[in-house]
Chains A and B, each alone.
Chain A
């Protein structure tokens, strides 16, 4: 009798353990699938009309930032995205020896043959320079290369003043894939637009590969492709520029939408009581003084969002609202220095 009672108790204990343990294990394996473990994907075909329900997560450090892509697609497609990102890094980087931009900056005014993508990106940049009356200017390189926001290096005022004289987008000549800088001391820096361009290219590659659901995050430049696998829109938060990272100012339900935000809080350093941030004014060479704490752009293309956030931030509230209202399909959320929010369309995001 004693033996059978012990058996029964043992059985019930096993039952409890298996119930608890089984539940926990099932939870773990589901989570593992959602994480996109390489082992979980062998039967998923990219061309299949029914997309995989699970999101694979891919992350890397490129463009001096953290990149994370969640996509309902197979590993081969994610690998292609990664290759493409590395290509952009190697082509657009100002500091990487042998990149198109590095070569162009070292050419001393001689014409340089560049990749099609580089020429396209430079041409796009010039459109936004015109649009912002020269406030958005990729020839900011002569100035931006003097600053180091990671190490907290403040450039010498005289050197900076000289460098500003080499900032002028009108000296950038694009002839097919041949680029010429009229000023031999001019330096290009695509930092204000390259991430947006790269995000658009990720979207294009994902769509081409049959992916209908993805979330692309290139260091805070977010693109929501399609809907989430559960059929609801992606939820994209807008960072509160005056609060610690992770505190939201607003949330938008995003479906095929780019959300890009620029603000001083993203990168900068303090020296002698002054905060020096990374959004440089091409007129002075110093971080811009503006009436905004951050600018967020909602648009179809991330390239446009990337360039326009910088434009808006540099222009200030009034001119920024005017600029964005004149562009169909684009909306802005501007946070002023008092934390007040202005939106070009009040339905685009819900305030927190």
Chain B
């Protein structure tokens, strides 16, 4: 009853509303498309899973630059996120092997600091295009050596 009333008295408004809605949906689609492209450029906003010496897991999205220090009884590691990549920039371990392992950004890749039992893994996704089958060299499931 009320709806019918509204339609008869404000038919003009309803048309404008539909037009606006249409425009809104169109803008939404455009923005969504831009968003998808942006996410693609940022490697779908990969996430690093960091397991510290206590076995606690920290999630760190790689889409914004940051520097984080994580300390346990075994030692301390400082990680740096920049340009969608993550690396260890400082560590209390002796060999600094973890620092020499450089930056990673592809799903499945890991950096391991054995003395501190500190592991960084890039989260895997089940859609292949997210899993870094790109041309940046290290796109394998595991490394022997």
A residues in contact (CB < 8 Å) with B: 1, 4-5, 7-9, 11-13, 15-16, 19-20, 23-24, 27-28, 30-31, 33-35, 53-55, 57, 59, 61, 64-66, 68, 70, 150-152, 215, 217, 220-222, 224, 228, 230, 234-239, 241, 244-248, 251, 259-261, 263, 265-266, 269, 294, 296, 352
Contacts and interface: CB of A to CB of B under 8 A. Distances in A.
A150 B145 contact: no
Interface in B110-142: 110, 112, 114-115, 117, 119, 121, 123-128, 130, 137-142
Given A1-B16, A20-B31, A33-B126, A68 B110 contact: yes
Contacts of B68: none
A61 B110 CA distance: 14
B39 A236 contact: no
B82 interface: no
B140 A35 contact: no
A5 B101 contact: no
A241 B144 CA distance: 11
B50 to A, nearest CB: 12
A57 B112 CA distance: 16
- The SS class assigned to the B binding surface is mixed
Contact of A237 (B17, B51, B114, B144): B144
Contacts of B139: 235
Given A20-B32, A34-B125, A259 B144 contact: yes
B11 interface: no
A53 B128 CA distance: 13
B140 A59 contact: no
A12 B28 contact: yes
Q: Is the interface of A mostly helix, strand, loop or mixed?
A: mixed
Interface of B: 13, 16-17, 20-21, 23-25, 27-29, 31-32, 35-36, 39, 44-45, 47, 49, 51, 94-95, 97, 100-102, 104, 109-110, 112, 114-115, 117, 119, 121, 123-128, 130, 137-145
Contacts of A9: 20, 24
A248 B27 contact: no
Given A150-B95, A215-B141, A237-B144, 19 more contacts: A5-B20, A8-B23, A9-B24, A11-B24, A19-B32, A27-B125, A31-B124, A31-B125, A33-B126, A34-B124, A35-B124, A66-B114, A217-B142, A224-B142, A237-B142, A244-B102, A246-B138, A248-B138, A248-B143
Contacts of B44: 27
A252 to B, nearest CB: 9
Nearest to A15: B28
A309 to B, nearest CB: 9
B31 A239 contact: no
Among B16, B94, B101, B141, the one with the most A-chain Cβ atoms within 10 Å of its Cβ is B141
| The 5 A-B residue pairs with the shortest CB-CB distance in the complex, in nearest-first order | A12-B24, A239-B145, A8-B20, A15-B28, A261-B145
Given A27-B44, A244-B101, A237 B140 contact: yes
A3 B35 CA distance: 28
Contacts of B32: 16, 19-20, 23
B47 A31 contact: yes
Given A19-B32, A234-B142, A4 B125 contact: no
Contact of A230 (B104, B121, B124, B128): B128
